[in-house]
Structure 1
Amino acid sequence: MRIATVEYEGGPRCGVVVDDVLHPLPAGQTLLALLRRGEDALREEGERAVREASPIPLAGLRLLPPLRPPTVRDFVAFEEHVEGVARAVTGDTEVVAEWYEAPTFYFTNPYALVGAYDDVAVPPGCRVLDFELEVAAVVGREGGDLSPERARSHIAGYTVFNDWSARDLQSREMRVNLGPAKGKDFATTLGPWFVTADELEPHRDGEGFLRLAMTVEVNGEEVGRDLLSNMGWPFEDLVAYASRGTLVRPGDVLGSGTCGNGGCLAELWGRTGVRSPRPLEPGDTVTMTVEGIGTIRNTIVEGRDPVPIPPARKRPRERP
């Protein structure tokens, strides 16, 4: 089942996508609310909508993010991506040993989500804008200290995830040994819709990974291609790690991290030592397609100038 959220008659409307039409759920119903009621409720409401609701053509409707998640974690689960970006940022030629020990993530901004075909503004002060091709898992059941085996049943579905990055802002702030922050929290694309986990099970390989083709194009030219199954950990390991010592709850979104082989520009820059292709500029269109899920496409537009904030003053070292 595929669940989309669209802008319809002045507000958001959630529904089931079948071919090129939306079978709407009752007004006010959201994917997050259904996930909180349980996957049985999601399936039953979706099947009822397909049987009974009058279909709405998707053509011409604005696709919103499929849900408004309470939290968004983004992992870094592709070794090839880490290797390339490390070369670009620090000049290191090897992945640090700590990467292999546990699946690292950061929290990004759930208020900065954009839809599958929305424009994306250059963030204030950014001159080196990049995309990042990922897939995200969406949690369907609450759980804490999960084992990977148990965690699989806590994944309700998946969506395409573009973790936009302001590389110059990110580079500055991470030299303080904290972050990323403003290098990341201006935009994250989710879409085009949420695909329930059962739809992707036929793509699972013998090691438990989802073997899905992933591609990214800039202005119609392919710059990256990889397989989701090249992750260092499957999604259930990521969910289990996220739940360690805490809870994951319905609607939580967990990004895979950027795929390799051109999943972002910074990886390519690190491998070649040349900033080519160039950073994204207003007018550029980034198109991402993930097998079994769908396609998202965003065009870059001019952003706002940064509101000035003065540098820190040198503090005296007086004590009371």
Structure 2
Amino acid sequence: MKALVCKEFGDPDILVMEDIPEPEVKKGMVKIEVHSVGLNFPDTLMIAGKYQFKPPFPFSPGMESSGIVTAVGEGVTKVSVGDRVMANHGVGGFAEYVLAPEDGTYKIPDNMPYDQAAGFPVTYGTTYHALVDRGELKPGEVLLVHGAAGGVGLNAVELGKALGATVIGTVGSDEKMDIVKQYGAEHVINYSTESIRDCVKELTDGKGADVIYDPVGGDAFDQSMRCINWNGRLLVIGFASGRIAELKTNLVLLKGCSVVGVFWGEFARRYPEQNRANFQAMLDMVESGKIKPHVSMHFPLEQGADAMKALLSRKTTGKVIITVKD
């Protein structure tokens, strides 16, 4: 099978196309003929040797994909050969076939195209777990979403709106404001020209946001602690800014707020049935048209390095998708 392979750590240009053997299905695993692959920021860290998980060389990046089940291992009961599925498998997606664990594989609705499905598991899984399980977001509350035009950020805007929140998004340029509004934000702040803290305070009559979704860290986290409501929940999703913020605990005391870590992968490992229930709730939303994942760019498999460069440029919105099979 054809695969885009990493043989040494480096930038995206070190990836090479090769013919490699197809993976053989194993107990508890599902073999998928890959149609599309969702690209995530950790994929770029993985090939650079900067991710917490370092697969042995050679490997194909690609944490999530969609396609058709071609074989199932011993003990697999949740999916069958021929099913249209999406899967979270951690690595291996930049190839014509991939193995995924049964607990990370989900049937997709008939009205869900492969490109939308491929970009769904990691970002939507993270976001739903963050907002519902960790943030306990309630209808009528104010949700502040940083990096609102990005992969996880746009999901948070969309899901927050679907869950009944008033959504405020932050972006780094005026060009990204429209897509965030289209996906449900009532207000959008350009943090390159406006103060997040001041704008949020003004928009909430001085109260601040009830739940803050922060995949950015750094300055965004610092400002969040200054515009969080009493009993607010600040969700730590990631550190895309490159700076891990330091928390002044006196602010936690004075605000009566909580700073909450969100590690979806470990949650899914510890509580697979609850995670599957979360996915069913979201896929019901997809089937009913309540949510519609946004794909901004498509690249063929052989241009996977260009796809990574586009993601790293921070000029994309929503998801970047690798097309393996039309």
Shorter-normalised TM range: under 0.3
Higher relative contact order, chain-length normalized (CA < 8 Å, sep 6+) = 1
Higher helix share: 2
